[in-house]
Amino acid sequence: MAVTKREIVRRVAERAALTQAQTQDIVQLTLEAISEAIVEEERLELRNFGVFEVKDRAPRKARDPRTGETMDVPARRVVTFRASPVVLEQL
């Protein structure tokens, strides 16, 4: 099951002894800062957590499974995440 932003807010609020409203603002500001950093810098390193990086995907050919028709998929930019060894060790 996926962890939602609401669940993160609840967990942080309990640990930090803050209200959920205060924690919601903090979590939202943090996520906005992460998004801005990725867009502006194309790479964000969070020590002991991981690295978010923007990568370019090359154009490619794909096949529609229903019709079998070949189509062109254009190049695009994607965000990737590589977990740190600390996180991978906990899995």
pLDDT in tens, 52-74: 999 999 999 999 899 999 999 99
Q: What is the pLDDT of residues 17-32, one digit of tens each?
A: 999 999 999 999 999 9
Contact 20, 8 (CB under 8 A): no
Whole-prediction pTM value? 0.75
Question: What pLDDT is stored for residue 76 in this prediction?
Answer: 94
Q: What's the length of the chain?
A: 91
Question: Where is 78: in which H helix or E strand?
Answer: strand 76-83
Residue 25 main-chain phi, psi, to 5 deg: -65, -45
Torsion 53-58-64-68 (CA) sign: negative
36-65: average pLDDT: 93
Of 57, 54, 53, give the one whose Cα is nearest residue 75: 57
